[in-house]
């Protein structure tokens, strides 16, 4: 899958990204109709932030549309309330995830992931399965394995292919097509700082944006390159190519500095 309308000089074409991930709290998902990508993945940011399903339906036919759905969340729970899953427009595919605790109630977060993920994969058409925190369960459940970009992603992809895995592999990556260090840190510094190895390396109470200085800035400058795609569009394109060479079938970019940056 490739960009569909980007000219050779566009950011979209130069990065080689296969799709774009949108957060409904940051933009109207309908903007996807004007973006040069065949594939649009909509992130889950809580039930109240779900986009209207008719907005997703409007994109079907022009784009491959995937909605992230936590299998422990009410409305998407195959062992309980699955009312939202049953209401999804035909043609909207699912990204099945365990779900981030920030977007789940305590009751939802206490539910078992493995049996729900397995049953949801069986019921869904062509599902993608988010691996974050549940790598072995996700692999056992099947479906396209959807990985968060990390410093070990290329190595992990090669290992899966070497072990004989022949299913599809996808990578989700916050993306900032800029070589302005301050702009990069403002866009993805806090995101990188939440990853466990980065959090441990940062000085206590350190700033995580462009105001970071000293040791904190040094740690963050490396971390954003491990956990996000940053740099000019051509540099990002080289890393996307490396991910593909390692075994990725799809690389999806989240425009961390705004949707307009990935046109």
pLDDT of residue 55: 96
Q: pTM for the full model?
A: 0.95
User: Is the model's pLDDT at 205 over the cut of 70?
Assistant: yes
pLDDT of residue 5: 46
User: Is the model's pLDDT at 4 over the cut of 60?
Assistant: no
Q: Domains of the chain (ranges plus CATH)? A: 11-179+231-262 (3.20.20.70), 180-227 (no CATH)
The Cα–Cα gap between 139 and 116 comes to 14
Give the residue-averaged pLDDT of 13-19: 98
pLDDT of residue 7: 54
> What residues form DSSP beta bridges with 94?
67
The Cα–Cα gap between 61 and 77 comes to 27
User: Is the model's pLDDT at 261 over the cut of 80?
Assistant: yes
Mean per-residue pLDDT of the chain = 96
Per residue in 109-142, pLDDT (tens digit) is: 999 999 999 999 999 999 999 999 999 999 999 9
Helix (H, G, I), strand (E, B) or coil at 154: helix
Handedness of CA 191, 239, 252, 109 (dihedral sign): negative
């Amino acid at each position: 899958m490739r960009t569909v309308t980007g000219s050779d000089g566009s950011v979209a074409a130069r990065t080689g990204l296969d799709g774009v991930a949108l957060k409904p709290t940051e933009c109207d998902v309908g903007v996807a109709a004007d973006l040069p990508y065949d594939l649009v993945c909509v992130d889950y940011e809580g039930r109240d932030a779900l986009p209207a399903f008719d907005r997703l339906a409007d994109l079907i036919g022009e784009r491959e549309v995937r909605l992230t759905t936590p299998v422990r969340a009410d409305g998407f729970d195959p062992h309980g309330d699955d009312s939202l899953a049953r209401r999804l427009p035909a043609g909207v595919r699912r990204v099945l995830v365990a779900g981030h605790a920030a977007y789940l109630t305590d009751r939802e977060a206490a539910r078992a992931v493995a049996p729900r993920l397995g049953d949801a994969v069986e019921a869904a058409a062509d599902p993608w399965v988010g691996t974050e925190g549940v790598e072995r369960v996700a692999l056992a459940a099947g479906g396209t394995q959807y990985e968060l970009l990390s410093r070990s992603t290329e190595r992990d992809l090669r290992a899966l292919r070497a072990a004989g895995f022949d299913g599809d592999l996808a990578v989700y990556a916050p993306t900032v097509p800029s070589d302005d260090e301050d702009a990069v840190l403002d866009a993805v510094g806090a995101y990188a700082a939440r990853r466990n190895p980065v959090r441990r390396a940062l000085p206590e109470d350190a700033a995580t944006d462009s105001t970071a200085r000293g040791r904190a800035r040094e740690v963050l400058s490396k971390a954003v390159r491990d956990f996000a795609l940053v740099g000019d569009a051509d540099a990002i394109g080289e890393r996307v190519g490396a991910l593909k060479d390692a075994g990725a079938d799809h690389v999806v970019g989240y425009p961390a500095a705004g949707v307009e940056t990935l046109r």
